[in-house]
Amino acid sequence: MDSVEFSRYLTMLTLSVHVIFATLGVGVPIMITIAHWLGLKRNDEHYILLAKRWTRGYVITVAVGVVTGTAIALQLALLWPRFMEFAGQLVALPLFMETFAFFFEAIFLGIYLYTWDRFKNPWRHFYLLIPVVLGSGMSAFFITTVNAFMNTPQGFTLVDGVLTNIQPLVAMFNPATPTKVAHVLTSAYMTTAFVLASIAAYHLLKGNRHEYHRKALALTMKVALIFSIATALVGDLSGKFLAEYQPEKLAAAEWHFETEGEAPLVLYGVLTETNEVKYAIRIPYALSILVHSNPFGEVTGLNDIPEEYHPPLVIHYFFDIMVTIGIWLTVFSLFYWIALWRGWSVIKTKLFRILLVASGPLAMIAIEAGWWFTEVGRQPWIMRGFMSTAEGATDSPYVWAMFIAFAFLYMILLIGTVVVLTRMFKRNPVEKELEKLSDEQRSVAK
């Protein structure tokens, strides 16, 4: 393997680790805000404690997110120097704004964390969350516009290798931006809600009957349902976007070779050496409907695209994983919500609780699969239509060594995070904290 391959794998490794923490980083502040708000509004100490405990765990994930984020920020220039030299003139603006948003969030998160009992009016402490939520959302927005730009570059003219007529805002608000940003935000909120629901369900599965965990589960599952539906809707729009702007990515994802109307949607299956699809489920017309909202609409096939621009066909599996999990989680949370409302006892069975526990990790897998699909799906380009991945990569011969070093580092990091988070909450169960809280209140009342 050469430096290009290793640069790709190292970038993939860093981003795959970072996205776990970035997703939680975007999603958890919203959940903390909701819980804290409910707690103050209803004067319910359970919700307040929920916000407190989530925040405590969140700090760990933010710390890891910050350091892996710093790693990827620096690695972009180390591994893709030619690309950054070129793109730096086009997307420096959103990159710069992302750091501002991140700075803003970091400052207020620090303040929120260390001022739990420093304000007489608890609402003032609560308001500190607004910049945290805004900052995390804005940094996701800005950084996603950069990624969107790499998929659909615009806002400049290239004349004999020289950039002219540069319009930073046009580059930022490129055709991929709306669907990408919306999908990133909704899926982050959705995934976080499921991850937190998993934790609550885990305690119930373990036989803990405390009111606190029931409240946590009901709240997170409701939020999860709302954002699952939103994610699915945006996902549909993303498909339509792909068909129009990146038909090769959609065609590769769907193993759609012939340009035709009445195109079926291909789910699962395997591909033979001669590009024949076997064992797949075909839903007639579905792809045409997805793309054109019309069963007879024509969908571009891979055979109409020059072979050197074909993305790897493996992205079909990533696409399947993402969509299957997405649909399952939407149906699952809808069912939970109806069952809760109608008082069905099925949601209290062991099996159902196991499914609840699984939902968080599943959502995270869908996030990873979705990013692999979108990133591998734009190969061979690093900047679609303008620069291939090989042209952007470093020619340094030491990338393999760095790959090994970072792989080892991330392993330590992930293990450390899991160990610390479990230890932190095992040693300090909810019951103990609630007791302490009511003791404090009693002493205040005296």
Partner 1 sequence: MSIEVLGISVLWLFLFGYVIVASIDFGAGFFNASTIITKKHHIVNTVIQRYLSPVWEITNVFLVFFFVGMIGFFPQTAYYFGTVLLIPISISIILLVLRGSYYAFSTYGTKGHFGYTLMYGVTGVLIPASLSTALIVSQGGFIVETASGRIDLDYMALLTSPFAWSIVALSLVSVLFISASFLAYYSSVAEDWDALKLFKKYTWIWSFPTMFTALGIIIEMKWHNPAHFEGLLALWWLFALSFACFVVSLWLLKTKRYGWSFIFVVLQFAIAFYAYGVSRYPYLLYPYLTIYDSFTNQTMAYALIIVFVLGLMLLIPSLYLVFKLFIMNKPYIKKGK
Task: Tell me how far, at minimum, the Cβ of 323 lies from partner 1, in Å.
Answer: 33
Q: Which residue, 104 or 202, has its beta carbon nearer to partner 1?
A: 104
Rounded to whole angstroms, how far apart are CA atoms 242 and 232? Answer: 15
Judge residue 314's burial from the number of C-beta atoms within 10 Å of its C-beta, 0-12 exposed, 13-18 middle, 19 or more buried. Answer: middle
Q: Which residue, 330 or 394, has its beta carbon nearer to partner 1?
A: 394
Rounded to whole angstroms, how far apart are CA atoms 293 and 364? Answer: 30
| Listed residue (232, 274, 244) closest to 370, CA to CA | 232
Show the beta-strand stretches assigned E in 94-249.
157-159, 162-164
Task: Tell me how far, at minimum, the Cβ of 68 lies from partner 1, in Å.
Answer: 7
**Bridge-partner residues for 262, per DSSP?**
none
Q: Which residue, 72 or 205, has its beta carbon nearer to partner 1?
A: 72
Rounded to whole angstroms, how far apart are CA atoms 190 and 180? Answer: 15
Helix (H, G, I), strand (E, B) or coil at 173: coil
Residue 188 to residues 15, 363, 422, Cα–Cα distance (Å): 15, 9, 22
**Crossing angle for the helix pair 129-151 and 81-113, to the nearest 10 degrees:** 170
Q: Which residue, 23 or 187, has its beta carbon nearer to partner 1?
A: 23
Task: Tell me how far, at minimum, the Cβ of 395 lies from partner 1, in Å.
Answer: 5
Residue type, 282: R
Rounded to whole angstroms, how far apart are CA atoms 359 and 99? Answer: 32
Q: Which residue, 62 or 329, has its beta carbon nearer to partner 1?
A: 62
Task: Tell me how far, at minimum, the Cβ of 209 lies from partner 1, in Å.
Answer: 28
Q: Which residue, 109 or 234, has its beta carbon nearer to partner 1?
A: 109
Task: Tell me how far, at minimum, the Cβ of 81 lies from partner 1, in Å.
Answer: 3
Q: Which residue, 79 or 299, has its beta carbon nearer to partner 1?
A: 79
Task: Tell me how far, at minimum, the Cβ of 102 lies from partner 1, in Å.
Answer: 6
Q: Which residue, 78 or 232, has its beta carbon nearer to partner 1?
A: 78
Rounded to whole angstroms, how far apart are CA atoms 96 and 80? Answer: 18
Q: Which residue, 166 or 283, has its beta carbon nearer to partner 1?
A: 166
Task: Tell me how far, at minimum, the Cβ of 98 lies from partner 1, in Å.
Answer: 8
Task: Tell me how far, at minimum, the Cβ of 33 lies from partner 1, in Å.
Answer: 19
Task: Tell me how far, at minimum, the Cβ of 27 lies from partner 1, in Å.
Answer: 19
| Listed residue (368, 254, 246) closest to 316, CA to CA | 254
Dihedral of CA atoms 161, 142, 314, 306 in degrees, nearest 10, equals -30
Task: Tell me how far, at minimum, the Cβ of 402 lies from partner 1, in Å.
Answer: 5
Rounded to whole angstroms, how far apart are CA atoms 261 and 343? Answer: 46
**Whether 132 contacts 106, CB under 8 Å:** no
Task: Tell me how far, at minimum, the Cβ of 437 lies from partner 1, in Å.
Answer: 20
Q: Which residue, 99 or 208, has its beta carbon nearer to partner 1?
A: 99
Q: Which residue, 172 or 302, has its beta carbon nearer to partner 1?
A: 172
Token duo for residue 336: 């939970």
